[in-house]
A = this chain, B = another copy of it.
Amino acid sequence: MCLPGIFIVTLLTLSIPAVHGGKVLVYPQDGSHWINMKVIIEALHSRGHSVSVVRPSDSWYIKETSPHYSSITIDIPGGADEEFFSSFVSRQIQIQREGKSAWTRFSLDMELKDRFSEMHRRVCEMVIQMLENKQLMQSIRETKYDLVLTDPANGGGVVLAHYLNVPLVFNVRWTIHGEAHFAIAPSPLSYVPFPVAELTDNMSFFQRVRNFLVYVIRQHLYKQTVGPHYSALVSRYFGPEVDYFSLFQAADLWLMRVDFVFEFPRPTMPNVIYMGGFQCKPAKALPQDLEEFVHSSGEHGVIIMSLGTLVAQLPRDLTDELAAAFAQLPQKVIWRHKGDRPTTLGNNTLLVDWMPQNDLLGHPKTRLFVAHGGTNGVQEAIYHGVPIVGLPLIFDQPDNLHKMKARGAAKILDIFTISRDIFLQALQEVLNEPSYRMNMQRLSRLHRDVPMEPLDTALFWIEFVMRHKGAAHLRTESYRMPWYSYHSVDVMVFLLAVVLLIMLTTVAIIRCLCFRMCSRQKIKHE
C-alpha cells in the first residue's frame, strides 16, 4: 500500500530550461536500464529538445547534473538497489558453487522477489510524493511537456503520464508484468517462447507444456509482487475501477530494445517500433596501451571477458579456474576483473578495471567475447559479429544467451559448476569451429541491414508523437475488452445457443406434429 504524507518531499532541483524544440519528461528505471535511456536522452538533447529526468536523490546511476537534461530529484529513503543486487549475485554464485541446499536457494529467490516488491513500493511512494507536491505539479503542468518517456520496468512514468494527460512513449523491453510484447501483442504460447523459459520458436510438446507453465506461474508471480502497490496508487488517483495494467497498455509507442535478429519472429503491433542495438556504434580507436596489447596478439587475436556491472567479485576458486583456462590459450585475453588477482593468471591475460567494450568488440583482432549475457552486451556482440562464450548469472541473461545459442553463435556454460577444463574446451570450440563466427557475422549483417539506424528510427517516432500529439491511430484499444469478448467466447456461446434453440424448436415442432398426427389416427381408429 502506498500511503500519502508519511514521506518528506524535498525538491532538490527543478530547473526546466527554455530550449527550442520539444519538451520531454523522462521517468527512467535505475541501474543498467539507465544506460539505454541515457543514449536516447543525449540524442534528444542533440536535436534541440529539452529533457527533464525524474530521479530519486540516492540514484545509483542517474546523476543530478548533466549537460543533457535537467533533474527533478525526489528525496526518498531506502534505495541502494545496486549494493543489494551486486551482493545478491555474489551470494548466489557462492551458494550454488558450494552446493548448498535447495532451501537456501529458494530463500535467496524469495529475497529477490521481496526486493522487487520493495523497489515497486518505492516507485509508488515517489509518484505519490510528486503528485502531492502542488508546487512541483504546477511547475510540471506549466512546462507543457509534449510527452512522457519512460521505461515501464517500473510504473512511475505510466501513472505520471496518465495524471498529466500527456502522450506516453516507452523505451522498453520489460513491463512490470514481464516481457513487453506479452502486454500488448497476441502471443501464442505454442511458438512464442516466454522469456526466461530458455526456449526457441520451435518447441516439442513438452517444451510447449513448460512454456505454458512458466508463463502462467510468472504472470501470477508478477501480479502478486507488483500488483498491490500499483493497484493502490492507481485506485487512489484514478478510482478503483481503473486497472493499473491498462494504463501501461494504453501507451502511444513502444520503442522496443530488440529486433528480429535477437528475438524470434512473433506477432507484433503497429505501435511497436524496433530499435534493438540502438546503443551500438562503430568502434573508435583504442587507447595506445590497449591497442599495443591487442596488436601483440598477432594472428591469434584477443578474447575479451566482462560479466557486466552487477558482479562485484567472483569467488577466488572460480577466478582461478577461469584464469587457468585462459593461460593455456595462444590468444591474448582482456578481462574486466574486480577483486584479487587469480593465482593461475597467465602472461597472456590483462586484468582491467574498466574496458572500452564497444571499441574492443569492434576491433578486427577480437575473436571471442566471454559474457554474462546482459542485453546490451549481446546486442553489441551481434553488431560487431563476435561469437560468445556465455556465463549467465541472473535475470534474463540465460535466456538472452539461449537466443544466440539457438542461432549457433554462442556456447553457454554453467558458471556454478565450471572447471578449467570445461571452460578451456568451450573457448577452443568457439575459437576453432568456424560456424560460431560465421553465424554471428550473418546475424551482424542482418542486424545492420536496415533502412534507417535504430536510434534515428526511435527519434523519428518520438518526434512523430510530438508532432501529432500521440499515435492513437496505431494503437488498438482491445485491452479494454473483457477476456471472453476479446477471444469471442461470448459470440461463440451466443451462436451455439442460437443453433441449439433452432434445433430444439425443430424437434419440438416435429414432435408436436407427430403427436397430432398420432392423435388423429387414434381418433380415426376409435
Interface residues in chain A, defined as those with a beta carbon under 8 Å from any beta carbon in chain B: 185-186, 188-191, 201-202, 205, 208-209, 212-213, 260-261, 264-271, 445-446, 449, 451-452, 456-457, 460, 464, 467-468, 473-478, 481, 485-488, 490-492, 494-495
Residue of B nearest to A272 (CB): B268
A-B contact pairs, 22 of them (CB 8 A): A188-B478, A188-B486, A188-B488, A189-B491, A190-B478, A190-B485, A190-B487, A191-B481, A191-B486, A205-B485, A205-B491, A205-B494, A208-B491, A209-B491, A212-B488, A212-B492, A261-B473, A265-B269, A267-B268, A449-B467, A451-B451, A451-B452
B267 with A487: CB separation less than 8 A: no
Chain B contacts of A494 at CB under 8 A? 205, 209
With A449-B464, A488-B190 already in contact, the answer to whether A495 and B209 are too (CB < 8 A) is: yes
Given known A-B contacts A208-B488, A268-B270, A269-B265, A446 and B468 have beta carbons under 8 A apart: yes
The reply to whether A265 and B451 form a contact with Cβ atoms under 8 Å apart is no
Residue of B nearest to A185 (CB): B267
- CB-CB under 8 A for A190 and B481, given A205-B490, A209-B495, A467-B449: yes
Contact call A188/B191, Cβ cutoff below 8 A: no
B260 touches A266 (CB 8 A): no
CB-based closest 6 A-B pairs: A186-B186, A191-B478, A451-B460, A265-B476, A260-B270, A267-B267
With A476-B201, A495-B209, A495-B212 in contact, do A269 and B270 touch (Cβ < 8 Å)? Answer: no
For the complex, what is the distance from the CA of A464 to the CA of B261, rounded to whole Å? 14
Contact partners of A264 in chain B: CB under 8 A? 476
Q: Kindly name the residue among A205, A452, A488 whose own CB sees the greatest number of chain B CB atoms within 10 A.
A: A488
How far is B190's CA from A494's CA once the two chains are assembled, in angstroms? 14
User: Known: A190-B486, A449-B464, A474-B260. Contact between A491 and B267, CB under 8 A?
Assistant: no
Q: Is the CB of B457 within 8 A of A451?
A: yes
Say how far A485's CB is from chain B's closest CB, in angstroms.
6
A488 touches B266 (CB 8 A): no
Partner of A271, one of B265, B271, B446: B265
How many angstroms between the C-alpha atoms of A212 and B496 in the bound complex?
13
Minimum C-beta distance from A167 to chain B (A)? 14
Residue of B nearest to A443 (CB): B473
Neighbouring B residues of A191 by C-beta, 8 Å: 476-478, 481, 486
Nearest residue in B to A212 (C-beta to C-beta)? B491
A500 to B457, CA, bound (A): 51
Asked if B271 and A269 make an inter-chain contact with CB atoms under 8 angstroms apart, the answer reads: no
Interface contacts beyond A265-B473, A449-B464, A449-B468: sample of 20 additional A-B pairs, CB < 8 Å, sorted by A = A188-B478, A188-B487, A190-B487, A190-B488, A191-B476, A191-B477, A191-B481, A201-B476, A202-B477, A205-B490, A208-B485, A212-B495, A260-B474, A265-B269, A267-B268, A268-B269, A445-B468, A446-B468, A449-B467, A451-B460
Residue of B at shortest CB range from A459?
Answer: B451
Q: Taking each of A202, A456, A478, A481, which has the highest tally of chain B beta carbons within 10 Å of its own beta carbon?
A: A478
A446–B446 CA distance with the chains assembled, in angstroms? 29
Alpha-carbon separation in the docked complex, A163 to B270 (Å): 34
**B267 engages A269 (CB within 8 Å):** yes
- CB contacts (< 8 Å) of A474 on chain B: these are 260, 265
**Residues of B with C-beta under 8 A to A464:** 449
A448 to chain B, nearest CB (A): 11
